[in-house]
Amino acid sequence: MSLRLRCAAPVVDLARPAARAARLPVVAAGPTLGLALLAVLSLTEHPSALLLVLVGLLTVAPIGYLFDDAAADVTAASPSTLARRRLLRLGLGVPVVATGWLVAVDRGAFLEGYATLPVGALSSEILALACFTLAVASIAARRGDRAPGTTAAVGLLVAVAAIFLVRQAVPPSWPVPELQPNVHHRRWWWVTACSLTAVVWTSRDPAERHPRRRVLARTRPSPGA
């Protein structure tokens, strides 16, 4: 038993500062607001099941704060890679958001039309929006934004509004994902795939962007040689 505790100690020591840096209280505020909205809806007479989309938006909106890093300049020289630090933060924050959404889906059974609502398809939409928010945050952080979480939350709202307006203006056959489960809902998986690709691509350390230049710099003779 003591051996297990000794093995877990380094993980705990690493998780504590990562949890503080990832701004978990802000991330947890999303699911909290979503569940609060469900509580308010429970007081109305016939709330629509499609309001779960709004609950999902509130749940995932602050997930970009996982990539906020006030000490980015200091940790850039750390032996731990940027991808590893972000993976640790995701491991701490994603369960909080996922638990909030699962509770919302469970408690949302009182909504009108819930029995006919494809909860799985709706969950895939919320997953895509969460990944999109993370992608915006990672790109913003890569470009030197000191508040990528705020930028990502605003970007999510702008993207949702743009999707809603575009869907009203273009024919239904256009490959634009919609905010309600239907035949075009599978297009959200493309959003998820592209967003995760962006997160992985922007999570490389800056020194890894030009490996050939580093090799040339090492092999180039110094001026005094």
Q: How many CA within 13 A on the CB side of residue 169?
A: 6
Number of domains in the chain: 1
Tell which residue, 138, 173, 162, has the closest CA to residue 152: 138
pLDDT for 16:
60
**47 secondary structure, DSSP code:** -
pLDDT in tens, the chain (225 residues): 454 545 444 555 455 666 666 688 899 999 999 999 999 988 888 888 888 989 999 999 999 999 887 655 444 445 568 888 888 889 989 999 999 999 999 998 888 888 888 888 889 999 999 999 999 999 999 888 888 999 999 999 999 999 888 888 878 777 777 766 666 677 888 899 999 999 999 988 765 554 454 444 445 555 554
pLDDT for 198:
96
pLDDT for 84:
85
Report the sign of the C-alpha dihedral through residues 89, 95, 96, 97, in that order.
Answer: positive
Q: Please give the Cα distance from 50 to 149 (Å, whole number).
A: 26
For the entire predicted model, the pTM comes to: 0.80
Is residue 93 in a domain? yes
Is residue 43 in a domain? yes
Is residue 4 in a domain? no
E runs forming strands in the chain:
none
Is residue 221 in a domain? no
Is residue 2 in a domain? no
Is residue 125 in a domain? yes
- Helix, strand, or coil here: 144? coil
Is residue 220 in a domain? no
Domain span including residue 60: 9-207
Is residue 152 in a domain? yes
Nearby residues of 124 by Cβ (< 8 Å), 6 or more positions away: 185, 188, 189, 192
